[in-house]
Amino acid sequence: MATKRTRKQAATAKNPTDQARAAWLAGLGAVSIVQKRSGELFSTLTSEGKDFQTRTQKFAQAFRADAQKQVKSALAPVKANARNAVSKLGAAVQQGIATVLAKLGIPSKADIEELTTRVTALSRQLKTR
């Protein structure tokens, strides 16, 4: 014998009105459950949002630090080359100025320091005599 169906079960399965009523009651039950759990759900969502924000901020900071490290390492040779170029240019300008001043008969700093040293030495010799 297969399972026996009661008249009520058979009627419920076939009656569209009862099926519609059951669907309606299921919908009302869903609304009731949502109302009961909405506060809990809101708290859970808020907590999850805070956690997500924290994870996102940590990721962004790590990404930024990594990007800065890569940029610094990429720019280090460029900075070194620029410093060398500026140093060479400065030396070339100073040499050019020194040449022009020498042609005009204007003494350089080294010449003045040498003369100052000689004058100081001569002054000491005169004082000792």
| Banded model confidence at residue 1, pLDDT cuts 50, 70, 90 | very low
Task: Specify whether the CB–CB gap between 107 and 115 falls below 8 A.
Answer: yes
d(CA 92, CA 86): 10
Within 13 A of 29's CA, how many CA atoms are on the CB side? 6
Q: What pLDDT is recorded for position 3?
A: 53
End-to-end CA distance of the chain: 146
d(CA 51, CA 44): 11
Task: Give the pTM.
Answer: 0.41
| The two structure tokens encoding residue 59 | 């990721």
- Average pLDDT for residues 88-117, to the nearest whole number? 88
Mean of the per-residue pLDDT values of the chain: 85
| The two structure tokens encoding residue 47 | 């907590």
